[in-house]
């Protein structure tokens, strides 16, 4: 008999990370319902168009995977890599870590990002995309923190408007961690990396 298995409590694979979460801000089921609704709106607005989705790496991976499975439009997917935060929650210099590959000229483009915070990242990406002469550009974000906007940029589709708190999960990270939490939550203050 394997005595260790019988006597040691089994830890859930999320236990370690969930213990770092102070509170769940948006639970999984609410996210799922909202993402499905966003997709229906996008489908209506882009019906009959040859859509190119441009997603920002890395924070969109979970949201994007769920969103596109609800879209029955013909679409192509491209990624742009933008790094804003040098491993902490403080805003840093903006660098392009992966360039676009698809030709966007004359296309209907939907830019997907995880969160609209100061707006600097999206403004920079939108300026780059517009230079490629697409027919139309729309922006979809999972989260928006209105209070923190520093530059003028608007999202056409917003999953949730949230207060000015740093959140993780459902793709969002702090120092590349916690992206795999299935909900959006707030960490315990002692779980942030020191600047």
Q: Find the catalytic residue in 117, 156, 173, 190.
A: 117
Q: For ligand IMP, which residue of 51, 116, 155, 187 counts as binding (CB under 6 A)?
A: 116
Which span (34-42, 43-51, 144-152, 172-180) binds Mg ion, by CB under 5 A?
A: 172-180
144 is a contact residue toward ligand IMP (CB under 6 A): no
d(CA 137, CA 24): 33
Residue from the set 167, 170, 181, 187 that interacts with ligand IMP by CB under 6 A = 167
**Only segment of 7-15, 33-41, 45-53, 163-171 that touches ligand IMP (CB under 6 A):** 163-171
Please list, in sequence order, all residues whose beta carbon lies within 8 angstroms of the beta carbon of residue 161, skipping any fewer than 6 positions away. 143, 144, 145, 146
Query: Segment near Mg ion (CB under 5 A), from 31-39, 55-63, 130-138, 160-168?
Result: 55-63
Per-residue string for binding with ligand IMP, 96-115, x by CB under 6 A?
-----------------xxx
20 is catalytic: no
Q: Is 121 in the site for ligand IMP (CB under 6 A)?
A: yes
Q: How many residues bind ligand IMP (CB under 6 A)?
A: 17
Backbone angles phi, psi at 62, to 5 degrees: -75, -50
CB atoms near residue 139 (< 10 Å): 21
- Select from 51, 112, 119, 183 the one that contacts ligand IMP (CB under 6 A): 119
d(CA 7, CA 125): 54
Instruction: Give me the residues that bind Mg ion (CB under 5 A), please.
Output: 59, 173
Instruction: Give me the residues that bind ligand IMP (CB under 6 A), please.
Output: 59, 84-85, 91, 113-121, 166-168, 172
């Amino acid at each position: 008999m394997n005595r260790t298995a019988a006597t040691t409590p089994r830890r859930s694979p999320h236990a370690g990370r969930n213990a770092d979460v102070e509170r769940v801000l948006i639970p999984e089921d609410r996210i799922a319902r909202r993402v499905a609704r966003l997709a229906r709106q996008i489908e209506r607005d882009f019906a009959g168009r040859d859509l190119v989705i441009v997603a920002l790496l890395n924070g969109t991976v979970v949201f994007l995977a769920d969103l596109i499975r609800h879209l029955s439009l013909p679409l192509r997917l491209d990624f742009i890599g933008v790094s804003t935060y040098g491993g902490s929650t403080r805003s840093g210099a903006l660098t392009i870590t992966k360039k676009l590959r698809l030709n966007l000229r004359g296309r209907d483009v939907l830019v997907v990002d995880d969160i609209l915070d100061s707006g600097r990242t999206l403004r920079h990406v939108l300026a780059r995309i517009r230079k490629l002469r697409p027919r139309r550009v729309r922006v979809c974000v999972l989260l928006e923190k209105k209070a923190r906007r520093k530059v003028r940029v608007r999202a056409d589709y917003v999953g949730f408007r949230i207060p000015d708190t740093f959140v993780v999960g459902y793709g969002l990270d702090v120092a590349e961690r916690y992206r795999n939490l299935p909900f959006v939550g707030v960490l315990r203050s002692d779980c942030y990396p020191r600047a």
